[in-house]
Amino acid sequence: SKALTADANGIVTIDQDTNNKALVIDSEATSVYALETYSKYGIYSQQDISGGYAGYFYRNIDEAGSYPLVYIYDDHASNTQPALKVRQDGAGYDSESSAYSGIMAYGKYGIQCTQDISGGYVAYFNRNLDEAGSEPLVNIVDDHTSNTQPALRVKQDGAGYGIKIDQNGAGVALYIDSE
């Protein structure tokens, strides 16, 4: 059988049936992309063998340039869809918190979000289920005993509330436990 075929519809197929790479692009270009696609759906990658992943982005250079490892740029002003959506239906395990996570971030600054359009918000946390477990909606844990910085800082320069609590249930609106 042929490993590379092109049918009458213009579909090019690489059928890699051995334990080798199916396609390698090695480009030394410094001002153009190694791979460029134009289509409605772009790139689709499906993991169909256990123990791997559908996408892997890796950089091991002393990067002092202007670009992150992965850059998502959704530029149209009338767009109403998110630039990135993560859906985790399975029990993806986070060994740091012993919890199931859709997104994990490790680094000096973790996650930074900046709102630059009026009328929205920087973060929104929502849970609409009969939660009988032992976990809060948002959990801030600062475990190091030598830490001298606050676990949460709220700075409000405007006329709005620094913290607003709307407690509609039977529980206590604010509980402080200090040892």
Using alpha carbons, select from 89, 172, 98 the residue that is nearest to residue 134.
98
How far apart CA 163 and CA 155 sit, in angstroms, is: 10
Beta strands at 93-94 and 12-14: parallel, antiparallel or unpaired: unpaired
From first to last of the 179 residues of the chain, give the pLDDT tens digit: 578 889 999 999 999 889 999 999 999 999 999 999 999 999 999 999 999 999 999 999 988 888 888 888 899 989 888 888 877 777 665 545 445 566 777 788 878 888 888 888 888 888 888 878 888 888 888 899 999 998 899 999 999 999 999 999 888 999 898 88
Using alpha carbons, select from 166, 169, 82 the residue that is nearest to residue 131.
169
Using alpha carbons, select from 24, 25, 26, 109 the residue that is nearest to residue 68.
109
**What's the longest Cα–Cα distance across the chain?**
75
Using alpha carbons, select from 75, 71, 16, 25 the residue that is nearest to residue 48.
16
How far apart CA 102 and CA 109 sit, in angstroms, is: 19
pTM for the model: 0.63
DSSP character at residue 97? T
DSSP character at residue 155? -
DSSP character at residue 26? -
